[in-house]
Amino acid sequence: MRLRRTIVVFIIIALCFLLQTTVFQALSFANISPNLLIIVVSSFGFMRGSREGMIIGFVCGLIADLFFGFYIGIYALLYLYTGFINGLFQKNFYPDDIKLPILLISGSDVICNLLIYFFLFLLRGRFQILYYLRAIILPELVYTLIVTIVLYFVLLKVNQWLEEKEKRSAKKFDL
């Protein structure tokens, strides 16, 4: 990633993390808040490809591990794979069509939450999958999708702005 893109993406990650842990915690419904980091990882994955999706996923996951995780590396690994898998859909991505982003972000949120349940709860003998699905996964999915509709377009505009800047700077060096 170029320096400008790196700085802007880091600012986006920091802002989304701060929003997720402050504003949306205050606006939570039944202790459920949207997962903005999944939106960022998934969006940059299918907009920019697997490599950048993995890098952004690892950074977001590491931040989540440091602040929320019981063990360092679980969220980093989950988000890394989320960025990678979403990056595989870059060829199918069209900026004006919101169906693919909604589908990928919702799938990423559900699969990450199911894997978190598996690794952090099921392996410790907590077998209430239906409760976890009804009380945490589905409400978070709905809340995340509502926020996705707004945040996705912001991320799309930022990505288009960065791509335009990168094209302009590349033209300066073409002879």
- Contact, 109 vs 2, CB < 8 A? no
| Angle, in degrees to the nearest 10, between helices 138-173 and 99-120 | 120
Rounded to the nearest 10°, the torsion over CA 121, 34, 112, 119 is -20
- Residue 128 is encoded by which pair of tokens? 């209430």
With a cut of 60, say whether residue 175 has pLDDT above it.
no
* Domains, the chain, ordered by start: 3-169 (1.10.1760)
- pLDDT given for residue 27 in this prediction: 83
CA dist., res. 39 & res. 105, Å (int): 6
Q: CA nearest 151: which of 114, 102, 110, 108?
A: 102
Q: What are the pLDDT digits (tens) for 19-71?
A: 999 998 888 877 889 999 999 999 999 999 999 999 999 999 999 999 987 78
Q: Is the dihedral of CA 54, 142, 99, 17 positive or negative?
A: negative
pTM of the shown model: 0.92
Give the number of other Cβ atoms within 10 Å of residue 81's Cβ.
20
10-19, 74-83, 143-152, 163-172: segment of lowest average pLDDT: 163-172
CA torsion through residues 137, 141, 143, 147, sign: positive
- Summarize the confidence of residues 16-21 as an average pLDDT: 95
